[in-house]
Amino acid sequence: MSDSHDLPSLDLPSLDLPSFDLGEPAQPARPEAYRVLARKYRPQTFAELIGQDAMVTTLGNAIKRGRLAHAFLLTGVRGVGKTSTARLIAKALNCIGPDGKGGPTIDPCGVCEPCRAIAEGRHIDVIEMDAASHTGVDDVREIIDASRYAAVSARFKIYIIDEVHMLSKNAFNALLKTLEEPPAHVKFLFATTEVNKVPVTVLSRCQRFDLRRISAEMLAAHFARVSEAEGVEAEPEALGLIARAAEGSARDGLSILDQAIAHAGIEGGGVKAGAVRDMLGLSDRGAVRDLLGLLLAGDGLGALGALRRQYDLGVDPQAVLRALLETVHGVTLVKLGTPPEAGQANEEREAQQGWASALSFAALHRLWQLLLKGHDEVARAALPIEACEMALLRVVHASQLPDPGELARQLAAGGPVPVAAPAAGPAAPASAPAASAEPALPGTIEEIIAAIERSGEFGLAVKLERSASVIRLAPPELVLSAARPLPADLVRDLTVELKNCTGRAWKVTTEDAPGAPTIKERRGEARAGLRADILASPVVKAAFEAFPEAVLPEEELDRLIAAQSKM
């Protein structure tokens, strides 16, 4: 018998039951988070680090020769690459190459595990710390304790401390001994924007690198490459404006470029100079040139109207004065003969050349001081636009005054003081020489010096009196002797100033041959001869015999020489 507990097997058909696994609904692919340009284009190699060639060369030589410091201090203004440089140094010291057998190199591969981990900020042996939020001595003690242990996977254990100047005094003191004699496997990389706040005891234990401000030309070229990589068209003038606004900081410039690209919109046609000016609140260069022309022409109403038009467009009054200062500085550089700025518009170059030929150095310096004073006043004023108007009116008034040197000579002579009339036309400088009046060219070195003194260039006149030994003078040609040392800039300055004084182009050259005595030498010879004549006269001889300790007053001798020269 079968066991009563055994149940017969049932052959049941298979059933297709519905699945009740709800699961998660299909999710749309998440778009990649946008990274700002300043992070996206952070340099990943020393070749991408712009404007710091001297530091890269020094580091490269140190790595090749195995002369690596145990602590580096990187200082400079914001955004020049201090933290990026620290990470690049960490890469350079810990790179093992694509095959895993490489050593320290100034050109890290970027593909090995240490390079990728450091670039992504996840390497266990490269510790970054912000001293602004870890200022205490306890934070430093943690570093000291951890530095005793060898690196886990890297060649060197590296501590990157940003804004190190914010550590407390006790924290610095706790770090000193370890910083002076760290373990062989430890490197310290400090970054700061205020190196003057770092104790001297710390500075003396570090190899210091001063990262320079990046030039506007380099920044503009860098921004052009970034714009091309982003597929964005950008006008060279717009990139130049962004580069100047960045003030030497690559990070600041990339942030402004990011904003400018967003400002341009999807169908905005790229980054335009006008849009950048509007975005930054800058004054249009053409409007600045027009305003400067009105100021030099003495047109007060026109100048105030031009200022108000800029103000109504949203331009800050202080920005207007800053743009005027930049223009005056550019005119002065042109007058000195410096090469034109890269990317400068033809209109601006021509305007600056015109003002440079029409205005003397004295007039440009006076204009600079007036605008600079106005800029400082507007920065502190409760009513900025009103203060700016008053500053511009002061410039207009000063443009109609005579040169200070000429004014002093007129007052000394007791004659009437001339008042310069405003120049005709809004763009003509007030001190432009009249095209129809061409004065006779000076025929002696004394006449040349007198003409230069009348233009207010007293320093140049003194140099000529002391150093100018004339070989030949046939206006408008002057040949000076180079047999004795001449000031380095004498020939250049004299050529420029003679053209300003006479309205004619002069050819001033030197020859290695003796020339006539300088005016100073002639005065010395006259002085010595007059002294000898005076001392040889019977009356003076008798006076010195009666009073052996008597002396001939130098001022009396000068008076006699001057009287003799007028006879």
Q: What is the pLDDT of residues 247-262, one digit of tens each?
A: 888 898 899 898 888 8
The answer to whether the beta carbons of residues 147 and 181 sit under 8 Å apart is: no
CATH numbers and ranges of domains, the chain: 37-210 (3.40.50.300), 216-280 (1.10.8.60), 285-413 (1.20.272.10), 445-511 (3.30.300), 519-566 (no CATH)
Round to the nearest angstrom and report the end-to-end CA distance of the chain. Answer: 166
- pLDDT of 420 strictly over 50: no
Ranges 142-156, 186-200, 306-320, 430-444: which has the least confidence? 430-444
**pLDDT computed for residue 119 by the predictor:** 87
Which carries the bigger pLDDT value, residue 408 or residue 242? 242
- pLDDT of 410 strictly over 50: yes
**pLDDT computed for residue 432 by the predictor:** 40
Mean pLDDT of all residues in 111-130: 90
Those residues with Cβ within 8 angstroms of residue 31's Cβ, 6 or more apart along the chain or in another chain = none
- pLDDT of 150 strictly over 70: yes
State the amino acid at position 74 in one-letter form.
L
**pLDDT computed for residue 452 by the predictor:** 86
How far apart, in whole angstroms, are the C-alpha atoms of residue 332 and residue 118? 49
Q: Count CB neighbours of 535 within 10 A.
A: 11
**pLDDT computed for residue 265 by the predictor:** 65
64-65-68-74 Cα dihedral, nearest 10 degrees: -60
Q: Give, in order, the Cα–Cα distances in Å from 67 to each of 62, 210, 518.
A: 5, 19, 57
Summarised one tens digit per residue, pLDDT across range 503-517 is 888 888 888 888 888
Partners of 74 in beta bridges: 191, 209
Those residues with Cβ within 8 angstroms of residue 436's Cβ, 6 or more apart along the chain or in another chain = none
Q: Is 439 in a helix, a strand, or coil?
A: coil
- pLDDT of 558 strictly over 80: no
Ranges 175-189, 319-333, 365-379, 517-531: which has the least confidence? 517-531
Q: Count CB neighbours of 276 within 10 A.
A: 25
The answer to whether the beta carbons of residues 297 and 428 sit under 8 Å apart is: yes
Mean pLDDT of all residues in 366-391: 92
pTM over 0.85: no
SS3 string, 357-422, reads HHCCHHHHHHHHHHHHHHHHHHHHCCCHHHHHHHHHHHHHHHHCCCCHHHHHHHHHHCCCCCCCCC
Q: Give, in order, the Cα–Cα distances in Å from 114 to each of 62, 84, 109, 150, 157.
A: 21, 16, 10, 16, 12
Summarised one tens digit per residue, pLDDT across range 530-541 is 777 777 777 667
Helices (DSSP H) in 480-553: which residue ranges?
Answer: 490-502, 519-536, 538-546
Which carries the bigger pLDDT value, residue 313 or residue 269? 313
Among 554, 409, 553, 438, smallest CA distance to 501 is for: 438
Averaged pLDDT score across all residues of the chain: 81
Burial 14-24 (b: 16+ CB within 10 A, else e): eeeeeeeeeee
Mean pLDDT of all residues in 488-511: 85
Q: Give, in order, the Cα–Cα distances in Å from 32 to each of 29, 35, 229, 261, 447.
A: 9, 9, 18, 19, 77
Strand order through the sheet with 126-130 = 126-130, 157-162, 186-192, 71-75, 207-210
Which carries the bigger pLDDT value, residue 482 or residue 547? 482
Q: How confident is the model at residue 435 (pLDDT cuts 50, 70, 90)?
A: very low
**pLDDT computed for residue 53 by the predictor:** 86
**pLDDT computed for residue 187 by the predictor:** 92
Positive or negative torsion for Cα 284, 223, 78, 67: negative
- Kind of pairing between the strands at 126-130 and 71-75: unpaired
Ranges 347-361, 382-396, 411-425, 449-463: which has the least confidence? 411-425
**pLDDT computed for residue 552 by the predictor:** 64
- pLDDT of 422 strictly over 60: no
Q: How confident is the model at residue 389 (pLDDT cuts 50, 70, 90)?
A: very high
- pLDDT of 345 strictly over 70: no
Q: Give, in order, the Cα–Cα distances in Å from 332 to each of 203, 238, 366, 451, 512.
A: 40, 24, 12, 21, 32
Question: Rounded to 5 degrees, what are φ and ψ at 389?
Answer: -60, -45
- pLDDT of 421 strictly over 50: no
- Kind of pairing between the strands at 126-130 and 157-162: parallel
Among 106, 84, 91, 81, smallest CA distance to 210 is for: 81
Which carries the bigger pLDDT value, residue 48 or residue 10? 48
> Quick one: tokens of 295?
């100021």
> Checking phi first, is residue 269 left (phi over 0); if not, alpha (psi -120 to 50) or beta?
left
Ranges 234-243, 274-283, 345-354: which has the least confidence? 274-283
Identify the H or E element spanning 112.
none
Q: How confident is the model at residue 65 (pLDDT cuts 50, 70, 90)?
A: confident
Burial 85-122 (b: 16+ CB within 10 A, else e): bbbbbbbbbbbbeeeeeeebbbebbeebebbebbbeee
Contacts of the segment 124-127: beta carbons below 8 A, 24+ positions apart: 124/152, 124/153, 124/154, 125/94, 125/151, 125/152, 125/153, 125/154, 125/156, 125/157, 125/158, 126/87, 126/90, 126/94, 126/154, 126/157, 126/158, 126/160, 127/157, 127/158, 127/159, 127/160
**pLDDT computed for residue 321 by the predictor:** 93
How far apart, in whole angstroms, are the C-alpha atoms of residue 293 and residue 45? 48
- pLDDT of 434 strictly over 50: no
Among 459, 454, 428, smallest CA distance to 442 is for: 454
Report cis status (omega within 30 of 0) of the bond before 548.
no
- pLDDT of 377 strictly over 70: yes
Those residues with Cβ within 8 angstroms of residue 509's Cβ, 6 or more apart along the chain or in another chain = 477, 478, 479, 480, 491
- pLDDT of 427 strictly over 60: no
Ranges 8-12, 90-94, 197-201, 351-355: which has the least confidence? 8-12
**pLDDT computed for residue 1 by the predictor:** 45
Positive or negative torsion for Cα 478, 483, 484, 486: positive
State the amino acid at position 333 in one-letter form.
L
The answer to whether the beta carbons of residues 223 and 242 sit under 8 Å apart is: yes
Burial of residue 41, with CB atoms counted within 10 A of its CB: 0-12 exposed, 13-18 middle, 19 or more buried:
buried
